[in-house]
Structure 1
Amino acid sequence: MPLIVEMGWGGLVQYPSTITWTDISRRTDMGRGVTITRGASDERSETQPGTATLRLDNADGALTPGNPSSPYYPYVRRGAPIRISVAVMPAPTGSAPYPLEMLGDDFDDDRVDTTLWPTNYGGATEVDGRARIPVSTSGNAGYQSARQWTLAGSQITARLAKAPAAGGSSSAYASMTVSSTTAGTRLGWRYNPVTGQLTAENQVGYSDATPVSLTYSPISHAWLRIRETSGTVYWETSGDGFGWTVRRTLAAPAWVAAQQVTVEFPTTRTGGASDYVEWDLVGATVRPRFYGMVNEFPVDWEGLTSYVSITCTDLFKRLNKLPVLRSMLAQEILAQAPMVYYPLAEDDDATSAGDIGGYGAPALAITQAGSGGTLTMSAASGPAETGEQAPLFTPSTATQGKYLSVDLGPQFEDPPMYQYLCFEAWFQTTTTGRCILGVHTPDRADQHLLSIAAGGGLQIEWAMEGGPLTTEAVSSPTTLADGNWHHVVYDQREGKVWIDGALVDSGLAVSRRWGERVLHVGGYRNTRLWAGSIAHVAIHSTLSVSAGPTAVGHWTAGTTGYAGEAADERVQRLAGYAGLPSVTVWGSTHDPIASQGPGGSSVVARLREVEATESGRLFAERDWYGLAYQSRDVRYNPDPMSETFTIDYADLEPGISIADDDQKLVNVADVNRPGGASQRVTAPASILAFGEYEQNLSMLKTSDNSVLDAAYWLVSRYANPAPELREVPVEAYTMPNYLDILDADISTYFSVTNLPAQAPAPWMRVTVEGYTETIKERSHLFQFHTSATNNDSVWVLDDATYSVLDFTTRLAY
């Protein structure tokens, strides 16, 4: 059971695919062990950020922050990525021939196992827990097993811990092969440091006419595997030994099923400087336990011996440190990476408006045209679902008043990236013939304006090379000056215009130029001053934004806050605001969610609102920087055949008990939703027996009936909870189903059988809510936090198990 502890020195935890991992497993104090916590204490509590604690040897000072002599300097610092895994090593059982998956060697004793590798040559040895094989001009070198293994229905896995350098060679190779009884007939992976190619080969006569070659990546190709299943051979690579990518497939040669094979790790070199390749964890089955970041590296001493005792936290540490979200509309605009973005939501005493696009554009300044008129920030209500205020433009006349303007700077006119622009703005007015926004070159030779025509429709105006303004009317509604908020998106490249989320014109004959960097908002060059409000002005590069989805999505965000989208879609959307590329979604029951349009809360808080509304589960993945969301139906009526494992009471560690208290009891649910009714659901029999146990909930539902359904679901589950096992301690390392136990995670379930006679039942099925695991030398102790699985059973008509009156006739929600 080797423990794998790896540090991503210099990497960023949120970009796992760019991290080159360094194995520091041998520094881990296995006497004290590694402790990992995950999940929640029970099903009515939120999942907590996952943590890992471990002590590392620092005798050489390599883990001292700021130590310039450290081989990891300057990356020994807070926030360093870390991942922890367990490698389960096989051992041959029975008599030869053995399935190849039973060939396992972790090389940790620094002595060649001559039983597994009776042939080792050319100076091949074990160093620092790895098989080290010279890649030398002195001759071939390698490890070779006995011929006692079969590949059919089996596999061979190894970690390529260190690839050799080219060293000026004309030819050099390091390979992992599975060989038939015919010389030169073999399957394998071969790395060529001269070309940097990793090749999946099916050799006959020492060659393969159609190999599959990859440009070697120490990140993506850290693990290699050859596997045979149902007559097909697979060559696979992995970055962590857990998630595999198929690189080549082939109908299995006849010898795979007919012959016993050898495994060999050979090397060869012609010319150049000698080097070596290192292999590790041959035959390992890897199970990730933790992915996150180190909080700090505190250096401690015991006499002259130095250690660092680190505590690590999963992705929720970073998510919890993110700033509070702006309105959903603002977040959607920011997600498009605009060139400039002026929300225009400053306080009422502001005299300028700032860009939050992130590229450092200067602020819009209030500019006086003529005399008189006012422009007051935060004096009007913005688009409905933003919860923000907007500026109020109140000119005396079309030429007497105030507007906003700025020179965006020479970087804004730099072609080719910015040669075509996409303009976006929200506006509100009852006055026609005024300008929403306009841009021009410093010499005013080229100009572009968006304005409201005298008839109330939208128009595009432009001029080129000093010529007069030309006007193009847009086929838009003639009621834009109706006092309501409207949204416009104009794509220069495509000549298209969207108003209020709908495409209203395309192929406009408008000339497209670049270099228009002077921006005016709410007027244009001291004239056509806006009367009303303007908000959320953004300019995008058409090379990086798709205008159609932008127009539709931003209109929806500003007017409805995406009210009515499914819960899984909302979770994905919120995760995107946090920079997470995707969310793993489990289950299929996803109710519509109400708006979360206004800003002011963190992304985690909004995610938790969805989780609580849906009785779902939200947690960090344990193998990469990812988020998982489970809908409530993941737990409905679990199939006994899908249990993660079954364990006998006699195999449990001391400390098991059955709870029957009022910790989870709820018999009165007072519930409400935004803009909806306040409702109550009770369980009279429970109230009579135990008194009132009330729960108040505010849910992001879109209908009162959905709120009522959620309340019934809560009360029906917890009006009279049955006795249950809440803590199940398991020493997994000694169990024959060790791998199955390692696979247990939040919302999986298992059964405890042969309970003592005093128990209410001879066996109990429990659902995993969380766990604490402690990994030591030859020990892997789990403390599972569990709940009764039947809490989530739902009615199935005429089913012997799930239609028992007053017990399993709970209607699904």
Structure 2
Amino acid sequence: MTNTLVEVAFGATLTSSAPVLVDISQYVDLVKGISISRGAQDELSEIQPGSCSIPLDNSDGRFTPGRASSPYYPNVKKGVPIRVSVATFTPRTGTAPYPLEMLGDDFDDNRISSTLWPNSYGGVSEVGGRARVPLPAGSSSGYQSAREWTLVGSKLTAKLATVPAAGGSSSAFCSMYINSTTSGTRLGWRYNALTGVLSAESQTGFFDGSAVSLTYSPFSHMWLRIRESGGTVFFETSSTGATWTVRRSLATPAWVTSQSVAVEITGARTGGVTDFSEWDFVGATMHPRFFGIVQEWPTTWKGLSSAASITCTDLLTWTSIVKELQSMVVQEILLDRPTVFFPLTESADSTSAGDLSGTPSVGSLSIVQAGSGGTLEFAAGAGPTGQPCPVFTPSTSTAGKYLSADLGPNFTDANASFRVRAEMWFATSTRDRVLMALTSSDADTKMIISLASASGALQVQSQAPGSALVATVWGTPDLADGQLHHLVYNEFTGEVAIDGVTYTTPNFNPADLRILYVGGFQNARLWNGRISHVALYVRSVTTADLTPHYTTGATGHAGESASARMARLASYAGLSVATQGSTFDAVASQAELGRSALEHMRDIARTESGKLFTSRTTGTPLIFQSRDLRYNPVAALTLQYADLETDGFEYAYDDQKMVNSVTASRPGGATQRIISQASIDAYGEKPQDLQLLKNSDNSVTDAANWLVSRYSDPPPEVRQIPVEAYSMPVATYRALLDADVSTVIGLTGLPSQAIASTATATVEGYTERIGLWQHQLDFHTSRAVTDTVWLLDDPTYSVLDSTTRLAY
């Protein structure tokens, strides 16, 4: 049997660390069915944003946005996270004792199964598709199975859907135990409603002095599991029911291997207010199908009957991933949450510079004229990775222009608790000039960063009210050498980092700062040169957190691996990436950026002949597959043609994918052309341009050869595999649900008109419809052997002129 689980995180966002997920499955109209699309049509197409459509019963108005009587008010909003999963259960077969994973119950028929739970007690019930276990004052209750199960090599899984409240009791708990034949000897999970602690226990005499305790999280500990494997018992938790975290492990107790066991889901309290716990999906194996955000909550009526058919999209449409990025050095600084940040990259006609930190009340940097003469030209110079920056050119040390801003009360308030960390890029050939200064509103407190007059080393001068100005000079090289340098000054630790090298000297830490000066102070010691990317951090951030910005500004991270670059780009959108496969080449710099995070990530995926798509579950939201994941594919599952039970199976042979001439280039490299003359002679030229972020010309040639070798003359292939998955045996159904982009499917027993009786196909994407006692999957596929590579002396992958393609 199967079961669909639809959960919405009302009131949360994609960046919420522990969203509260609400199960709305009972309101899903499975007669109309859930529709999901995922992946691409073929291997040469970019993976498009996935979508999910879910029809809902809205007869009580709970899904009407803005309706005050909705139990979800005011959080029926667009942009809330949603996930869809399918549960499968292992049917009970054979004779007792049965493996515990065969104890499966979805509690959806509103009656307690006398077969599964014959010894239940204390007024337990099924309510709303869940097992409800009351905690009556001074008593206990529980679901209890017969003693006909074994844990050896098996597992007990359940979703803890609702935990009880303390309710004024001196003791209140709910639990899930595997009981031995000896009273009080048992394994289980126990939640203490008074302390909010979830504990993994192996009890003897109702006690475990080594229990592992966790502060309960309704998100991280939503799913609980006890599993035995190879002589070890594992206690595991999960937020999805699909991926698990081990919280405790111990040697399998002797009674587990020698006895039949019983399961008891129980609750009790000593007094106070009667409450209950709720459990669901006992024995389920969960299969994530979709994770994304709700785009709309439309409400429709047919007469007085109301429905809501919601449309959801995956993370490839999330605002942060499609917003335009600034330069890489700006994005890296923003990741570290500066309190004030002036990139100083304004255009040449600017007369002031703006803050990008988002801190309220920070004013813009405006030009201050000292004496007469001198210039301050925006965009006249080059800062890190060639970013435009202003050039300060005074006529004398006291005549020229500099910048000043009021940083506002929020900056001053933060400075009461945290000392300043300052960062900037600069270049000059003149010593004894001021890079930056900070003062209090009355200027009685000062902090001035400059280059020492004698050595050109970094100097900081500080002054407290009523005290003299105190200078501290660090042992840096002469920085007035005309070269571009990166500076991090950590006032709290007395550290200075120049171009990634750290120097330490104790110094005074002023507070109450508010007014910022850049390129001069009090109309004197005017800067002669360039300054850019001025950032101030008034929070707990270390020097080591900020020094990597030097590498960003100096190299744009040219030469880092494609997997590292993908993770970097994803971080700019507030996301993380899981990699699959192992071949990730070095890539060129993307220092300028300027387009959306998604576009830049797709550039990397295209450069690597890899795949970028979203996860089907919470956790790591993006997946980046390397090309070698597909080398010499092995089928993850095999289907008989006769078992598909659908129409629409497709064999295709055309020139849709043909590429026999590739012109390829890279930034700062050669433009090269790779062709298959035999294909051109036979079919005419089928050209394609490749602009790749490779780090060498040879890598570009390899990529072009790889494309031409595979697609100069594409043979017939299976492009569509529709299947009625629900009718399959459980093991096959689970394998189909696990299939995703790049999964290989084997086919046997093909019709006599086919090229051969067997075929292998690689999944590129799919559409599915989850209905009432139906689950139709329609896989978009490509020819799996397209990605075979040469293995020396291998009987399959070393056939001359057939499977001797060199791996790229």
| TM-score after normalising by structure 2 | 0.96
Q: Which residue of 1 aligns with 2:423?
A: 424
Query: Which of residues 582, 586, 589 is equivalent to 1:588?
Result: 582
Query: Which of residues 510, 516, 540 is equivalent to 2:513?
Result: 516
Moved more, 222-231 or 59-68: 222-231
Q: Which residue of 2 aligns with 1:67?
A: 67
Q: Distance in 1 between matches of 2:307 and 2:165?
A: 33
Change (3 A) 1:455 1:609: farther
Q: Distance in 1 between matches of 2:543 and 2:780?
A: 49
Moved more, 459-468 or 433-442: 459-468
What's the secondary structure of 2:15's corresponding residue? coil
Query: Which of residues 581, 606, 609 is equivalent to 1:615?
Result: 609
- On the 8 A contact 1:81/1:292 being kept in 2, the answer is yes
Q: Distance in 2 between matches of 1:25 and 1:169?
A: 33
Q: Which residue of 2 aligns with 1:436?
A: 435
Matched to 1:627, the amino acid is: L
What's the secondary structure of 1:120's corresponding residue? coil
Q: Which residue of 2 aligns with 1:648?
A: 640
Verify: 1:228 aligned to 2:252, yes or no: no
What's the secondary structure of 1:655's corresponding residue? coil
Verify: 1:812 aligned to 2:804, yes or no: no
Moved more, 803-812 or 688-697: 803-812
Q: Which residue of 2 aligns with 1:2?
A: 3
- On the 8 A contact 2:496/2:504 being kept in 1, the answer is no
- How far did 1:740 drift? 1.1
Runs of 4+ residues over 6 Å off in structure 1: none
Q: Which residue of 1 aligns with 2:457?
A: 458
Matched to 1:772, the amino acid is: T
Q: Number of residues paired by the alignment?
A: 801
Q: Which residue of 1 aligns with 2:187?
A: 187
Q: Which residue of 1 aligns with 2:401?
A: 402
Change (3 A) 1:734 1:445: same
- How far did 1:336 drift? 1.3
Q: Distance in 2 between matches of 1:523 and 1:470?
A: 18
What's the secondary structure of 1:411's corresponding residue? helix
Verify: 1:604 aligned to 2:605, yes or no: no
- On the 8 A contact 2:659/2:711 being kept in 1, the answer is yes
Deviation sequence 1:263-296 (CA, Å, 0-9, x none): 1222322221112222211111111111111001
Change (3 A) 1:417 1:337: farther
- On the 8 A contact 2:321/2:597 being kept in 1, the answer is no
Moved more, 107-116 or 176-185: 176-185
Matched to 1:546, the amino acid is: T
Q: Distance in 2 between matches of 1:492 and 1:212?
A: 42
Verify: 1:681 aligned to 2:674, yes or no: yes
Q: Distance in 1 between matches of 2:455 and 2:699?
A: 42
- On the 8 A contact 2:424/2:531 being kept in 1, the answer is yes
- On the 8 A contact 2:37/2:768 being kept in 1, the answer is yes
- How far did 1:418 drift? 5.1
Verify: 1:261 aligned to 2:253, yes or no: no
1:245-284 → structure 2 map (5 Å cutoff): 245-284=245-284
Q: Distance in 1 between matches of 2:134 and 2:283?
A: 22
- How far did 1:794 drift? 0.9
- How far did 1:98 drift? 1.2
Deviation sequence 1:180-204 (CA, Å, 0-9, x none): 2223322222223233232222222
- How far did 1:403 drift? 0.7
Q: Which residue of 1 aligns with 2:792?
A: 797
- On the 8 A contact 2:389/2:532 being kept in 1, the answer is yes
- On the 8 A contact 1:561/1:597 being kept in 2, the answer is yes
1:94-113 → structure 2 map (5 Å cutoff): 94-113=94-113
- On the 8 A contact 2:142/2:264 being kept in 1, the answer is yes
Verify: 1:529 aligned to 2:523, yes or no: no
Deviation sequence 1:330-352 (CA, Å, 0-9, x none): 11111111121111112233222
What's the secondary structure of 1:556's corresponding residue? helix
**Uncovered stretches (5+) of structure 2, i.e. residues with no partner:** none
Q: Distance in 2 between matches of 1:85 and 1:395?
A: 66
Deviation sequence 1:580-600 (CA, Å, 0-9, x none): 2x3101111111111111142
Matched to 1:532, the amino acid is: G
Q: Which residue of 2 aligns with 1:34?
A: 34
Q: Distance in 2 between matches of 1:396 and 1:566?
A: 47
Verify: 1:727 aligned to 2:723, yes or no: no
Verify: 1:507 aligned to 2:522, yes or no: no
Query: Which of residues 543, 546, 559 is equivalent to 1:547?
Result: 543
Q: Distance in 1 between matches of 2:205 and 2:744?
A: 51
Deviation sequence 1:687-730 (CA, Å, 0-9, x none): 11111000001111111111111110110111111211111111
Q: Distance in 2 between matches of 1:796 and 1:564?
A: 29
1:163-562 → structure 2 map (5 Å cutoff): 163-319=163-319, 322-360=322-360, 361-378=362-379, 380-383=380-383, 385-386=385-386, 388-414=387-413, 419-454=418-453, 457-465=456-464, 466-478=466-478, 480-482=480-482, 484-503=483-502, 506-541=503-538, 544-548=540-544, 550-551=546-547, 553-562=548-557
- How far did 1:555 drift? 2.2
- How far did 1:424 drift? 1.6
Q: Distance in 2 between matches of 1:320 and 1:662?
A: 38
Q: Which residue of 2 aligns with 1:692?
A: 685
What's the secondary structure of 1:529's corresponding residue? coil
- On the 8 A contact 1:457/1:473 being kept in 2, the answer is no
Deviation sequence 1:115-138 (CA, Å, 0-9, x none): 112222222221211122221137
Verify: 1:764 aligned to 2:756, yes or no: no
Q: Distance in 1 between matches of 2:137 and 2:455?
A: 84
- How far did 1:468 drift? 4.6
Matched to 1:531, the amino acid is: N
**Aligned-pair identity (%):** 52
Matched to 2:611, the amino acid is: R
Q: Distance in 2 between matches of 1:152 and 1:92?
A: 16
Matched to 2:618, the amino acid is: W
Change (3 A) 1:767 1:411: same
Q: Distance in 2 between matches of 1:611 and 1:44?
A: 12
- On the 8 A contact 1:462/1:510 being kept in 2, the answer is no
Verify: 1:665 aligned to 2:666, yes or no: no
Matched to 1:785, the amino acid is: H
Q: Distance in 2 between matches of 1:558 and 1:346?
A: 17
What's the secondary structure of 1:428's corresponding residue? strand
What's the secondary structure of 1:48's corresponding residue? coil
- On the 8 A contact 2:320/2:574 being kept in 1, the answer is no
Change (3 A) 1:750 1:446: same
- On the 8 A contact 1:430/1:532 being kept in 2, the answer is yes
Moved more, 72-81 or 261-270: 261-270
- On the 8 A contact 1:445/1:467 being kept in 2, the answer is no
Change (3 A) 1:255 1:470: closer
Q: Distance in 2 between matches of 1:355 and 1:624?
A: 34
Change (3 A) 1:133 1:502: closer
- On the 8 A contact 1:461/1:469 being kept in 2, the answer is no
- On the 8 A contact 1:295/1:311 being kept in 2, the answer is yes
Q: Distance in 2 between matches of 1:747 and 1:766?
A: 9
Moved more, 444-453 or 729-738: 444-453
- How far did 1:508 drift? 2.5
- How far did 1:357 drift? 1.4
Q: Distance in 2 between matches of 1:321 and 1:227?
A: 39
Q: Distance in 1 between matches of 2:217 and 2:698?
A: 54
| TM-score after normalising by structure 1 | 0.95
Matched to 1:757, the amino acid is: S
Q: Distance in 1 between matches of 2:13 and 2:64?
A: 19
Matched to 2:212, the amino acid is: V
Deviation sequence 1:475-503 (CA, Å, 0-9, x none): 44436342x43222222233333333334
Q: Distance in 2 between matches of 1:381 and 1:772?
A: 53
Q: Distance in 2 between matches of 1:246 and 1:9?
A: 28
Q: Distance in 2 between matches of 1:95 and 1:471?
A: 85
Change (3 A) 1:270 1:508: closer
